[in-house]
Chains A and B, each alone.
Chain A
Amino acid sequence: MSSDVVVEAKNLSHVYSNGIVALNNINITIRRGEFVALIGHNGSGKTTLAKHINGLLKPTSGQIIVHRMDTREVSVADLAKKVGYVFQNPDHQLCMKTVWEELAFGPRNLGTPEDEVKQVVDEILRLFGLERYRDVHPFLLSRADRLRVALCSVLTMRPETLVVDEPTTGQDMRQSYEVMEILKKLNKEGRTVVFITHNMRLVAEYAERCIIMKDGKVFMDKPTREALTDFEKLRQAQLKPPQVTILSARLANIGFHEPALSVNEFVENVKAFLNNKYKSL
Protein backbone atom coordinates (compact mmCIF):
# COMPACT_ATOMS: atom_id res chain seq x y z
CA MET A 1 0.00 0.00 0.00
CA SER A 2 1.58 3.23 -1.09
CA SER A 3 2.01 5.83 1.60
CA ASP A 4 -0.54 8.29 0.28
CA VAL A 5 -3.42 5.81 0.36
CA VAL A 6 -5.62 6.60 3.37
CA VAL A 7 -8.57 4.27 2.76
CA GLU A 8 -8.51 1.00 0.94
CA ALA A 9 -11.51 -1.33 0.88
CA LYS A 10 -10.89 -4.82 -0.50
CA ASN A 11 -13.87 -7.01 -1.34
CA LEU A 12 -15.66 -5.39 1.59
CA SER A 13 -19.15 -6.69 2.32
CA HIS A 14 -21.46 -6.00 5.20
CA VAL A 15 -24.49 -8.10 5.97
CA TYR A 16 -26.67 -6.84 8.81
CA SER A 17 -27.85 -9.37 11.39
CA ASN A 18 -31.34 -9.35 9.80
CA GLY A 19 -29.78 -10.69 6.59
CA ILE A 20 -29.90 -7.45 4.63
CA VAL A 21 -26.80 -7.08 2.44
CA ALA A 22 -25.94 -3.42 2.96
CA LEU A 23 -22.58 -3.53 1.19
CA ASN A 24 -21.69 -5.98 -1.51
CA ASN A 25 -18.06 -6.44 -2.47
CA ILE A 26 -16.79 -2.86 -2.29
CA ASN A 27 -13.37 -2.05 -3.71
CA ILE A 28 -12.26 1.55 -3.38
CA THR A 29 -9.05 3.47 -2.76
CA ILE A 30 -8.98 7.02 -1.40
CA ARG A 31 -5.73 8.98 -1.39
CA ARG A 32 -4.48 11.69 0.91
CA GLY A 33 -5.89 15.13 0.09
CA GLU A 34 -8.84 13.95 -2.00
CA PHE A 35 -12.26 15.66 -1.77
CA VAL A 36 -14.77 12.90 -2.39
CA ALA A 37 -18.57 12.92 -2.59
CA LEU A 38 -20.19 9.67 -1.58
CA ILE A 39 -23.60 9.74 -3.23
CA GLY A 40 -26.45 7.41 -4.14
CA HIS A 41 -30.13 6.71 -3.58
CA ASN A 42 -31.75 6.39 -0.14
CA GLY A 43 -30.66 3.04 1.25
CA SER A 44 -27.81 2.56 -1.24
CA GLY A 45 -25.25 1.91 1.52
CA LYS A 46 -23.54 5.32 1.77
CA THR A 47 -23.81 5.65 5.53
CA THR A 48 -22.89 1.99 6.08
CA LEU A 49 -19.75 2.47 4.01
CA ALA A 50 -18.90 5.71 5.81
CA LYS A 51 -19.19 3.94 9.16
CA HIS A 52 -16.66 1.38 7.97
CA ILE A 53 -14.12 4.14 7.39
CA ASN A 54 -14.15 5.09 11.06
CA GLY A 55 -14.51 1.53 12.31
CA LEU A 56 -17.98 1.92 13.86
CA LEU A 57 -18.95 -1.00 11.65
CA LYS A 58 -16.63 -3.85 10.69
CA PRO A 59 -16.78 -5.78 7.44
CA THR A 60 -18.60 -9.11 7.67
CA SER A 61 -16.26 -10.21 4.90
CA GLY A 62 -13.33 -8.62 3.09
CA GLN A 63 -11.38 -5.83 4.76
CA ILE A 64 -10.84 -2.11 4.94
CA ILE A 65 -7.46 -0.56 5.68
CA VAL A 66 -7.63 2.97 7.08
CA HIS A 67 -4.40 4.88 7.66
CA ARG A 68 -2.56 1.55 7.52
CA MET A 69 -4.78 -0.01 10.16
CA ASP A 70 -7.05 -2.95 9.49
CA THR A 71 -10.25 -1.74 11.17
CA ARG A 72 -10.96 -5.21 12.55
CA GLU A 73 -7.71 -5.19 14.48
CA VAL A 74 -7.75 -1.77 16.12
CA SER A 75 -10.16 0.04 18.42
CA VAL A 76 -12.47 2.83 17.32
CA ALA A 77 -10.44 5.07 19.65
CA ASP A 78 -7.22 4.36 17.74
CA LEU A 79 -8.97 5.11 14.47
CA ALA A 80 -10.46 8.30 15.91
CA LYS A 81 -6.96 9.77 16.09
CA LYS A 82 -6.80 9.60 12.31
CA VAL A 83 -10.40 9.69 11.12
CA GLY A 84 -13.05 12.15 12.27
CA TYR A 85 -16.66 11.19 11.69
CA VAL A 86 -19.51 13.68 11.82
CA PHE A 87 -22.92 12.07 12.19
CA GLN A 88 -25.90 12.89 10.03
CA ASN A 89 -27.74 14.00 13.14
CA PRO A 90 -25.50 16.17 15.34
CA ASP A 91 -27.59 15.23 18.38
CA HIS A 92 -26.25 11.69 18.11
CA GLN A 93 -22.81 12.85 19.09
CA LEU A 94 -23.26 15.86 21.36
CA CYS A 95 -23.05 14.81 25.01
CA MET A 96 -21.47 17.55 27.15
CA LYS A 97 -22.94 20.47 29.07
CA THR A 98 -21.13 23.30 27.34
CA VAL A 99 -19.78 23.89 23.88
CA TRP A 100 -16.26 24.22 25.29
CA GLU A 101 -16.49 20.88 27.11
CA GLU A 102 -17.93 19.30 23.98
CA LEU A 103 -14.91 20.37 21.96
CA ALA A 104 -12.53 19.23 24.70
CA PHE A 105 -14.16 15.79 25.01
CA GLY A 106 -12.41 14.15 22.06
CA PRO A 107 -8.82 15.26 22.68
CA ARG A 108 -9.17 14.50 26.42
CA ASN A 109 -10.29 10.99 25.53
CA LEU A 110 -7.21 10.61 23.38
CA GLY A 111 -5.11 11.48 26.42
CA THR A 112 -4.01 14.90 25.19
CA PRO A 113 -2.35 17.00 27.94
CA GLU A 114 -4.75 19.59 29.37
CA ASP A 115 -2.78 22.67 28.25
CA GLU A 116 -2.81 21.36 24.67
CA VAL A 117 -6.54 20.63 24.93
CA LYS A 118 -7.16 24.20 25.98
CA GLN A 119 -5.07 25.50 23.12
CA VAL A 120 -6.74 23.43 20.41
CA VAL A 121 -10.28 24.06 21.68
CA ASP A 122 -9.79 27.81 21.83
CA GLU A 123 -8.22 27.81 18.40
CA ILE A 124 -11.07 25.89 16.77
CA LEU A 125 -13.72 28.00 18.53
CA ARG A 126 -12.03 31.10 17.17
CA LEU A 127 -11.71 29.64 13.69
CA PHE A 128 -15.44 28.92 13.51
CA GLY A 129 -16.61 32.07 15.24
CA LEU A 130 -18.21 30.06 18.04
CA GLU A 131 -16.42 31.77 20.97
CA ARG A 132 -19.62 33.47 22.12
CA TYR A 133 -21.15 30.03 22.69
CA ARG A 134 -18.27 28.58 24.70
CA ASP A 135 -20.30 28.28 27.92
CA VAL A 136 -23.66 27.55 26.29
CA HIS A 137 -25.31 24.11 26.42
CA PRO A 138 -25.07 22.62 22.89
CA PHE A 139 -28.77 21.70 22.87
CA LEU A 140 -29.74 25.36 23.28
CA LEU A 141 -28.19 26.16 19.90
CA SER A 142 -29.95 26.10 16.54
CA ARG A 143 -29.58 22.91 14.53
CA ALA A 144 -27.19 24.66 12.15
CA ASP A 145 -24.96 25.69 15.06
CA ARG A 146 -25.20 22.24 16.68
CA LEU A 147 -23.90 20.78 13.44
CA ARG A 148 -20.97 23.19 13.50
CA VAL A 149 -20.24 22.27 17.10
CA ALA A 150 -20.36 18.57 16.16
CA LEU A 151 -17.94 19.24 13.32
CA CYS A 152 -15.64 21.26 15.62
CA SER A 153 -15.72 18.58 18.31
CA VAL A 154 -14.28 16.20 15.74
CA LEU A 155 -11.73 18.72 14.46
CA THR A 156 -10.21 19.24 17.92
CA MET A 157 -8.86 15.69 17.59
CA ARG A 158 -6.98 16.93 14.52
CA PRO A 159 -8.00 14.03 12.29
CA GLU A 160 -6.17 13.63 8.99
CA THR A 161 -9.30 12.32 7.32
CA LEU A 162 -12.83 13.65 7.75
CA VAL A 163 -15.99 11.74 6.96
CA VAL A 164 -19.11 13.90 7.08
CA ASP A 165 -22.54 12.33 6.69
CA GLU A 166 -25.13 14.71 5.17
CA PRO A 167 -23.56 17.92 6.46
CA THR A 168 -26.30 20.03 4.93
CA THR A 169 -29.54 18.30 5.93
CA GLY A 170 -31.70 20.72 7.89
CA GLN A 171 -29.55 23.64 6.82
CA ASP A 172 -30.73 26.24 4.37
CA MET A 173 -28.71 26.93 1.24
CA ARG A 174 -26.58 29.67 2.76
CA GLN A 175 -25.70 27.52 5.79
CA SER A 176 -24.99 24.57 3.51
CA TYR A 177 -22.47 26.64 1.60
CA GLU A 178 -20.89 27.79 4.86
CA VAL A 179 -20.36 24.18 5.93
CA MET A 180 -18.97 23.25 2.52
CA GLU A 181 -16.58 26.22 2.59
CA ILE A 182 -15.25 24.97 5.93
CA LEU A 183 -14.71 21.50 4.48
CA LYS A 184 -13.00 23.02 1.47
CA LYS A 185 -10.65 24.98 3.69
CA LEU A 186 -9.78 21.85 5.68
CA ASN A 187 -9.17 20.01 2.43
CA LYS A 188 -6.88 22.78 1.19
CA GLU A 189 -4.86 22.37 4.38
CA GLY A 190 -4.21 18.80 3.32
CA ARG A 191 -6.98 16.81 4.97
CA THR A 192 -8.84 14.14 3.10
CA VAL A 193 -12.58 14.86 3.04
CA VAL A 194 -15.38 12.40 2.27
CA PHE A 195 -18.90 13.83 2.40
CA ILE A 196 -22.32 12.30 1.86
CA THR A 197 -25.13 14.38 0.38
CA HIS A 198 -28.19 14.39 -1.85
CA ASN A 199 -27.57 17.95 -2.93
CA MET A 200 -26.08 17.56 -6.39
CA ARG A 201 -25.33 21.23 -6.66
CA LEU A 202 -22.89 20.96 -3.77
CA VAL A 203 -21.39 17.80 -5.26
CA ALA A 204 -20.83 19.63 -8.55
CA GLU A 205 -19.26 22.66 -6.93
CA TYR A 206 -17.03 21.01 -4.32
CA ALA A 207 -16.19 17.36 -4.96
CA GLU A 208 -13.28 16.33 -7.15
CA ARG A 209 -14.44 12.76 -7.32
CA CYS A 210 -17.77 10.98 -6.99
CA ILE A 211 -18.24 7.52 -5.59
CA ILE A 212 -21.78 6.59 -6.59
CA MET A 213 -23.44 3.78 -4.66
CA LYS A 214 -26.37 1.75 -5.89
CA ASP A 215 -27.98 -1.17 -4.07
CA GLY A 216 -24.96 -1.74 -1.85
CA LYS A 217 -22.40 -1.67 -4.67
CA VAL A 218 -20.08 0.94 -6.11
CA PHE A 219 -21.97 1.82 -9.28
CA MET A 220 -19.60 4.47 -10.58
CA ASP A 221 -16.33 5.95 -9.32
CA LYS A 222 -15.20 8.85 -11.52
CA PRO A 223 -13.98 12.44 -11.47
CA THR A 224 -16.97 14.69 -10.76
CA ARG A 225 -17.22 16.17 -14.25
CA GLU A 226 -17.32 12.77 -15.86
CA ALA A 227 -19.80 11.40 -13.32
CA LEU A 228 -22.24 14.30 -13.47
CA THR A 229 -22.38 14.49 -17.25
CA ASP A 230 -23.33 10.84 -17.72
CA PHE A 231 -27.06 11.58 -17.37
CA GLU A 232 -28.17 8.07 -18.26
CA LYS A 233 -26.03 6.40 -15.61
CA LEU A 234 -26.99 9.01 -13.04
CA ARG A 235 -30.65 8.28 -13.62
CA GLN A 236 -30.01 4.56 -13.15
CA ALA A 237 -28.47 5.47 -9.79
CA GLN A 238 -31.57 7.58 -8.89
CA LEU A 239 -29.58 10.79 -9.23
CA LYS A 240 -29.87 13.93 -11.34
CA PRO A 241 -27.27 16.46 -12.43
CA PRO A 242 -27.65 20.13 -11.40
CA GLN A 243 -30.11 22.20 -13.45
CA VAL A 244 -27.31 24.22 -15.04
CA THR A 245 -25.59 21.02 -16.25
CA ILE A 246 -28.82 19.85 -17.90
CA LEU A 247 -29.21 23.27 -19.47
CA SER A 248 -25.71 23.26 -20.94
CA ALA A 249 -26.27 19.80 -22.39
CA ARG A 250 -29.44 21.06 -24.08
CA LEU A 251 -27.38 23.80 -25.70
CA ALA A 252 -24.78 21.41 -27.08
CA ASN A 253 -26.26 21.87 -30.56
CA ILE A 254 -25.23 25.53 -30.57
CA GLY A 255 -21.65 24.85 -29.55
CA PHE A 256 -21.61 24.33 -25.78
CA HIS A 257 -19.47 21.26 -25.77
CA GLU A 258 -18.10 21.81 -22.28
CA PRO A 259 -20.99 21.07 -19.94
CA ALA A 260 -21.03 23.50 -17.01
CA LEU A 261 -21.16 22.17 -13.47
CA SER A 262 -21.87 25.52 -11.83
CA VAL A 263 -23.62 28.79 -12.59
CA ASN A 264 -20.32 30.66 -12.66
CA GLU A 265 -18.82 28.21 -15.08
CA PHE A 266 -21.87 28.48 -17.29
CA VAL A 267 -21.66 32.25 -17.39
CA GLU A 268 -17.93 32.10 -18.19
CA ASN A 269 -18.69 29.69 -21.02
CA VAL A 270 -21.34 32.01 -22.46
CA LYS A 271 -18.95 34.96 -22.32
CA ALA A 272 -16.13 33.04 -23.98
CA PHE A 273 -18.53 31.73 -26.58
CA LEU A 274 -19.86 35.18 -27.46
CA ASN A 275 -16.32 36.61 -27.63
CA ASN A 276 -15.14 33.92 -30.01
CA LYS A 277 -18.18 34.21 -32.21
CA TYR A 278 -17.97 37.95 -32.55
CA LYS A 279 -14.22 37.91 -33.10
CA SER A 280 -14.58 35.43 -35.94
CA LEU A 281 -16.95 37.76 -37.79
Chain B
Amino acid sequence: MWGIVDKIPIEIKSFWWKYATSEEWVLSDINFSVREGEFVVITGPTGAGKTTLCLTMAGLIPYHYNGTLKGRVYVFGKDTTTLGSSDMASLVGIVFQDPESQFLTMSVEDEIAFGLENLALPLEDMRERVYEAARLVKVEDLLERAPYELSGGQKQRVAIAAALAMKPKVLVLDEPTGQLDPIGKEEVVNVLQSLKKQGITIIVVEHILEELAPFTDRLVVMNGGRILYDGDFRGFFKDAEEVFKSGVPSPQVVELTLLLRRELKKELEIPITLEEAEQMLNKLIPVKKFVQ
Protein backbone atom coordinates (compact mmCIF):
# COMPACT_ATOMS: atom_id res chain seq x y z
CA MET B 1 0.00 0.00 0.00
CA TRP B 2 1.60 3.26 -1.23
CA GLY B 3 5.13 1.96 -0.79
CA ILE B 4 4.96 2.12 2.98
CA VAL B 5 7.45 -0.68 3.48
CA ASP B 6 10.41 1.39 4.58
CA LYS B 7 8.46 4.02 6.43
CA ILE B 8 8.34 4.39 10.19
CA PRO B 9 4.95 3.16 11.45
CA ILE B 10 4.40 6.05 13.82
CA GLU B 11 6.37 9.22 14.24
CA ILE B 12 5.24 12.05 16.48
CA LYS B 13 7.14 15.32 16.39
CA SER B 14 6.80 18.07 19.01
CA PHE B 15 3.11 17.35 19.31
CA TRP B 16 0.84 19.35 21.60
CA TRP B 17 -2.91 18.86 22.03
CA LYS B 18 -5.68 20.53 23.96
CA TYR B 19 -9.35 19.48 23.75
CA ALA B 20 -11.84 22.26 23.09
CA THR B 21 -13.06 21.70 26.67
CA SER B 22 -9.68 21.56 28.41
CA GLU B 23 -7.91 24.54 29.88
CA GLU B 24 -4.42 23.13 29.75
CA TRP B 25 -2.45 21.09 27.25
CA VAL B 26 -3.35 17.42 27.59
CA LEU B 27 -0.29 16.41 25.59
CA SER B 28 2.81 18.59 25.80
CA ASP B 29 5.76 18.38 23.45
CA ILE B 30 5.47 14.68 22.62
CA ASN B 31 8.34 13.27 20.60
CA PHE B 32 7.91 9.62 20.04
CA SER B 33 8.29 7.07 17.31
CA VAL B 34 7.56 3.40 16.97
CA ARG B 35 9.59 1.03 14.82
CA GLU B 36 8.13 -1.77 12.78
CA GLY B 37 7.38 -4.90 14.81
CA GLU B 38 8.01 -3.21 18.15
CA PHE B 39 5.96 -4.04 21.24
CA VAL B 40 5.58 -0.83 23.19
CA VAL B 41 3.87 -0.50 26.57
CA ILE B 42 2.64 2.90 27.72
CA THR B 43 1.90 3.44 31.38
CA GLY B 44 1.38 6.24 33.87
CA PRO B 45 -1.19 7.54 36.36
CA THR B 46 -4.75 8.46 35.33
CA GLY B 47 -4.85 11.80 33.58
CA ALA B 48 -1.34 11.34 32.19
CA GLY B 49 -2.55 11.62 28.60
CA LYS B 50 -2.26 7.94 27.63
CA THR B 51 -5.70 7.64 26.03
CA THR B 52 -5.23 10.94 24.22
CA LEU B 53 -1.95 9.65 22.82
CA CYS B 54 -3.73 6.47 21.62
CA LEU B 55 -6.41 8.53 19.87
CA THR B 56 -3.67 10.61 18.28
CA MET B 57 -1.78 7.60 16.96
CA ALA B 58 -5.00 6.19 15.48
CA GLY B 59 -5.72 9.52 13.78
CA LEU B 60 -8.98 9.96 15.72
CA ILE B 61 -7.34 13.11 17.03
CA PRO B 62 -7.75 15.54 15.33
CA TYR B 63 -10.22 13.86 12.94
CA HIS B 64 -13.04 13.22 15.43
CA TYR B 65 -12.23 15.65 18.23
CA ASN B 66 -12.29 19.42 18.49
CA GLY B 67 -9.23 21.03 19.90
CA THR B 68 -5.99 22.81 19.29
CA LEU B 69 -2.81 21.15 18.11
CA LYS B 70 0.81 21.95 17.46
CA GLY B 71 3.36 19.67 15.83
CA ARG B 72 2.95 16.70 13.50
CA VAL B 73 1.94 13.05 13.60
CA TYR B 74 3.07 10.79 10.76
CA VAL B 75 1.76 7.30 10.14
CA PHE B 76 3.96 5.48 7.65
CA GLY B 77 5.25 8.82 6.51
CA LYS B 78 1.83 10.41 5.98
CA ASP B 79 0.62 13.34 8.06
CA THR B 80 -2.51 12.09 9.87
CA THR B 81 -4.30 15.38 9.26
CA THR B 82 -4.20 14.59 5.52
CA LEU B 83 -5.41 10.96 5.83
CA GLY B 84 -9.12 10.07 5.77
CA SER B 85 -10.56 7.81 8.44
CA SER B 86 -10.83 4.81 6.10
CA ASP B 87 -7.16 5.12 5.14
CA MET B 88 -6.27 5.36 8.81
CA ALA B 89 -8.41 2.34 9.71
CA SER B 90 -6.39 0.07 7.45
CA LEU B 91 -3.10 1.36 8.87
CA VAL B 92 -3.79 1.61 12.60
CA GLY B 93 -6.37 -0.49 14.45
CA ILE B 94 -7.56 0.62 17.87
CA VAL B 95 -9.12 -1.36 20.72
CA PHE B 96 -10.64 0.28 23.79
CA GLN B 97 -10.94 -0.73 27.44
CA ASP B 98 -14.61 -1.62 27.31
CA PRO B 99 -15.20 -4.05 24.43
CA GLU B 100 -18.97 -3.66 24.69
CA SER B 101 -18.74 0.01 23.86
CA GLN B 102 -17.62 -0.94 20.38
CA PHE B 103 -20.02 -3.84 19.71
CA LEU B 104 -22.85 -3.11 17.30
CA THR B 105 -24.13 -6.41 15.92
CA MET B 106 -25.74 -9.64 17.12
CA SER B 107 -23.08 -12.18 16.15
CA VAL B 108 -19.34 -12.45 16.59
CA GLU B 109 -18.94 -13.02 12.85
CA ASP B 110 -20.84 -9.82 11.95
CA GLU B 111 -18.91 -7.95 14.59
CA ILE B 112 -15.56 -8.92 13.11
CA ALA B 113 -16.85 -8.20 9.60
CA PHE B 114 -18.31 -4.80 10.48
CA GLY B 115 -15.35 -2.64 9.50
CA LEU B 116 -14.67 -4.72 6.39
CA GLU B 117 -18.11 -4.04 5.04
CA ASN B 118 -16.97 -0.51 4.30
CA LEU B 119 -14.09 -1.75 2.15
CA ALA B 120 -16.35 -3.25 -0.56
CA LEU B 121 -14.44 -6.54 -0.63
CA PRO B 122 -15.72 -9.62 -2.47
CA LEU B 123 -17.68 -11.87 -0.10
CA GLU B 124 -15.12 -14.66 -0.26
CA ASP B 125 -12.25 -12.32 0.72
CA MET B 126 -14.33 -10.99 3.53
CA ARG B 127 -15.06 -14.48 4.91
CA GLU B 128 -11.39 -15.31 4.62
CA ARG B 129 -10.35 -12.21 6.56
CA VAL B 130 -12.95 -12.72 9.28
CA TYR B 131 -11.87 -16.31 9.80
CA GLU B 132 -8.17 -15.40 9.75
CA ALA B 133 -8.67 -12.66 12.35
CA ALA B 134 -10.82 -14.95 14.51
CA ARG B 135 -8.17 -17.64 14.35
CA LEU B 136 -5.41 -15.23 15.41
CA VAL B 137 -7.23 -14.45 18.66
CA LYS B 138 -8.69 -17.95 19.06
CA VAL B 139 -12.39 -17.12 18.74
CA GLU B 140 -12.99 -19.12 15.54
CA ASP B 141 -15.34 -21.43 17.43
CA LEU B 142 -17.46 -18.51 18.65
CA LEU B 143 -18.41 -16.96 15.29
CA GLU B 144 -22.10 -17.85 15.59
CA ARG B 145 -22.45 -16.62 19.17
CA ALA B 146 -23.89 -13.28 20.28
CA PRO B 147 -21.20 -10.93 21.63
CA TYR B 148 -23.11 -10.28 24.83
CA GLU B 149 -23.07 -13.99 25.72
CA LEU B 150 -19.29 -14.13 25.84
CA SER B 151 -16.96 -13.89 28.83
CA GLY B 152 -15.03 -10.65 29.30
CA GLY B 153 -11.82 -12.12 27.89
CA GLN B 154 -13.67 -13.51 24.87
CA LYS B 155 -15.36 -10.16 24.22
CA GLN B 156 -12.08 -8.33 24.26
CA ARG B 157 -10.54 -10.89 21.91
CA VAL B 158 -13.46 -10.35 19.51
CA ALA B 159 -12.82 -6.60 19.65
CA ILE B 160 -9.17 -7.28 18.79
CA ALA B 161 -10.23 -9.56 15.92
CA ALA B 162 -12.49 -6.83 14.54
CA ALA B 163 -9.51 -4.49 14.47
CA LEU B 164 -7.24 -7.18 12.96
CA ALA B 165 -9.69 -7.98 10.16
CA MET B 166 -8.82 -4.59 8.67
CA LYS B 167 -5.24 -5.91 8.43
CA PRO B 168 -3.74 -2.88 10.14
CA LYS B 169 0.03 -2.56 10.30
CA VAL B 170 -0.20 -1.21 13.82
CA LEU B 171 -2.50 -2.17 16.66
CA VAL B 172 -3.13 0.31 19.48
CA LEU B 173 -4.86 -1.01 22.61
CA ASP B 174 -6.02 1.28 25.40
CA GLU B 175 -6.12 -0.70 28.67
CA PRO B 176 -7.50 -3.79 26.94
CA THR B 177 -7.52 -5.84 30.14
CA GLY B 178 -8.74 -3.18 32.57
CA GLN B 179 -12.14 -4.80 33.13
CA LEU B 180 -11.18 -8.45 32.81
CA ASP B 181 -10.82 -11.16 35.41
CA PRO B 182 -7.28 -12.51 35.87
CA ILE B 183 -7.64 -15.40 33.44
CA GLY B 184 -9.38 -13.16 30.86
CA LYS B 185 -6.37 -10.86 31.21
CA GLU B 186 -4.03 -13.75 30.64
CA GLU B 187 -5.94 -14.76 27.48
CA VAL B 188 -5.60 -11.28 26.01
CA VAL B 189 -1.93 -11.05 26.99
CA ASN B 190 -1.27 -14.41 25.28
CA VAL B 191 -2.99 -13.15 22.13
CA LEU B 192 -0.86 -10.00 22.15
CA GLN B 193 2.25 -12.11 22.52
CA SER B 194 1.30 -14.26 19.52
CA LEU B 195 0.45 -11.16 17.45
CA LYS B 196 3.89 -9.83 18.24
CA LYS B 197 5.36 -13.02 16.80
CA GLN B 198 3.38 -12.38 13.60
CA GLY B 199 5.30 -9.14 13.26
CA ILE B 200 2.44 -6.76 14.02
CA THR B 201 3.53 -3.51 15.63
CA ILE B 202 1.74 -3.24 18.97
CA ILE B 203 1.27 -0.33 21.35
CA VAL B 204 -0.60 -1.12 24.54
CA VAL B 205 -1.58 1.06 27.47
CA GLU B 206 -1.55 -0.79 30.80
CA HIS B 207 -1.43 -0.11 34.53
CA ILE B 208 -0.38 -3.56 35.62
CA LEU B 209 2.86 -4.54 33.96
CA GLU B 210 3.70 -7.94 35.42
CA GLU B 211 2.36 -10.08 32.62
CA LEU B 212 3.58 -7.88 29.78
CA ALA B 213 7.12 -7.52 31.16
CA PRO B 214 8.65 -10.63 29.54
CA PHE B 215 8.00 -9.50 25.97
CA THR B 216 7.89 -5.71 26.16
CA ASP B 217 10.49 -4.15 23.86
CA ARG B 218 10.02 -0.65 25.17
CA LEU B 219 8.35 1.04 28.09
CA VAL B 220 6.99 4.57 27.87
CA VAL B 221 6.03 6.28 31.11
CA MET B 222 3.79 9.33 30.93
CA ASN B 223 2.78 11.87 33.52
CA GLY B 224 0.99 15.20 33.23
CA GLY B 225 0.81 15.04 29.44
CA ARG B 226 4.51 14.44 28.99
CA ILE B 227 6.76 11.49 28.33
CA LEU B 228 8.79 10.88 31.48
CA TYR B 229 10.69 7.79 30.36
CA ASP B 230 11.13 6.04 27.03
CA GLY B 231 13.47 3.06 27.03
CA ASP B 232 13.89 -0.58 27.86
CA PHE B 233 11.62 -2.12 30.49
CA ARG B 234 14.29 -3.01 33.02
CA GLY B 235 15.98 0.37 32.76
CA PHE B 236 13.05 2.24 34.23
CA PHE B 237 13.06 0.21 37.43
CA LYS B 238 16.75 0.76 38.24
CA ASP B 239 16.15 3.94 40.17
CA ALA B 240 13.84 3.22 43.09
CA GLU B 241 13.33 6.91 43.85
CA GLU B 242 12.28 7.76 40.32
CA VAL B 243 9.96 4.76 40.16
CA PHE B 244 8.27 5.79 43.37
CA LYS B 245 7.88 9.41 42.26
CA SER B 246 6.34 8.38 38.93
CA GLY B 247 3.56 6.47 40.70
CA VAL B 248 4.00 3.59 38.26
CA PRO B 249 3.21 0.30 39.98
CA SER B 250 6.24 -1.96 39.62
CA PRO B 251 5.79 -5.65 39.05
CA GLN B 252 5.85 -7.24 42.52
CA VAL B 253 9.16 -8.97 41.72
CA VAL B 254 10.72 -5.55 41.12
CA GLU B 255 9.20 -4.08 44.24
CA LEU B 256 10.42 -6.88 46.47
CA THR B 257 13.94 -6.70 45.03
CA LEU B 258 14.14 -2.96 45.65
CA LEU B 259 13.00 -3.59 49.22
CA LEU B 260 15.46 -6.46 49.72
CA ARG B 261 18.29 -4.27 48.42
CA ARG B 262 17.50 -1.71 51.09
CA GLU B 263 16.89 -4.16 53.93
CA LEU B 264 19.83 -6.46 53.25
CA LYS B 265 22.15 -3.75 51.92
CA LYS B 266 23.06 -5.92 48.96
CA GLU B 267 23.39 -5.11 45.28
CA LEU B 268 20.80 -7.34 43.66
CA GLU B 269 19.99 -7.51 39.96
CA ILE B 270 16.45 -6.31 39.27
CA PRO B 271 14.36 -9.19 37.91
CA ILE B 272 11.41 -8.41 35.66
CA THR B 273 9.90 -11.89 35.40
CA LEU B 274 9.01 -14.62 37.88
CA GLU B 275 11.78 -16.82 36.47
CA GLU B 276 14.41 -14.14 36.97
CA ALA B 277 13.16 -13.50 40.50
CA GLU B 278 13.39 -17.18 41.28
CA GLN B 279 17.01 -17.27 40.07
CA MET B 280 17.91 -14.17 42.03
CA LEU B 281 16.46 -15.62 45.25
CA ASN B 282 18.09 -18.98 44.70
CA LYS B 283 21.43 -17.17 44.59
CA LEU B 284 20.59 -15.03 47.60
CA ILE B 285 19.60 -18.06 49.64
CA PRO B 286 22.27 -20.70 49.07
CA VAL B 287 20.05 -23.38 50.46
CA LYS B 288 22.14 -26.51 49.90
CA LYS B 289 24.98 -25.27 52.07
CA PHE B 290 22.83 -24.52 55.08
CA VAL B 291 20.32 -27.33 55.19
CA GLN B 292 20.44 -28.71 58.74
Contacts and interface: CB of A to CB of B under 8 A. Distances in A.
A263 B252 contact: yes
Given A200-B182, A239-B183, A42 B153 contact: yes
A198 interface: yes
B256 A142 contact: no
Interface stretch (A103-111, A120-128, A153-161, A267-275): A267-275
Interface in A157-181: 169-175
B175 to A, nearest CB: 9
B179 A169 contact: yes
Interface SS majority for chain A: helix
Interface in A235-281: 235, 238-240, 242-244, 246-247, 250-251, 254-255, 263-264, 266-267, 270-271, 273-274, 277-278, 280-281
Given A240-B182, A243-B210, A267-B259, A281 B290 contact: yes
Contacts of A274: 264, 285
Interface residues of A, number: 44
Interface residues of B, number: 41
A170 B46 contact: yes
25 contacts: A41-B152, A41-B181, A42-B153, A42-B181, A43-B151, A43-B152, A144-B46, A174-B45, A198-B179, A198-B185, A199-B208, A235-B183, A238-B182, A239-B181, A247-B252, A247-B256, A254-B287, A264-B259, A267-B259, A270-B264, A270-B281, A273-B285, A274-B285, A280-B290, A280-B292
Interface of B: 44-47, 151-153, 178-186, 207-208, 210, 247-249, 251-253, 255-256, 259-260, 263-264, 274, 277-278, 281-282, 284-285, 287, 290, 292
Given A198-B181, A254-B282, A270-B260, 9 more contacts: A42-B181, A169-B179, A172-B247, A243-B210, A244-B256, A247-B278, A250-B274, A263-B255, A267-B256
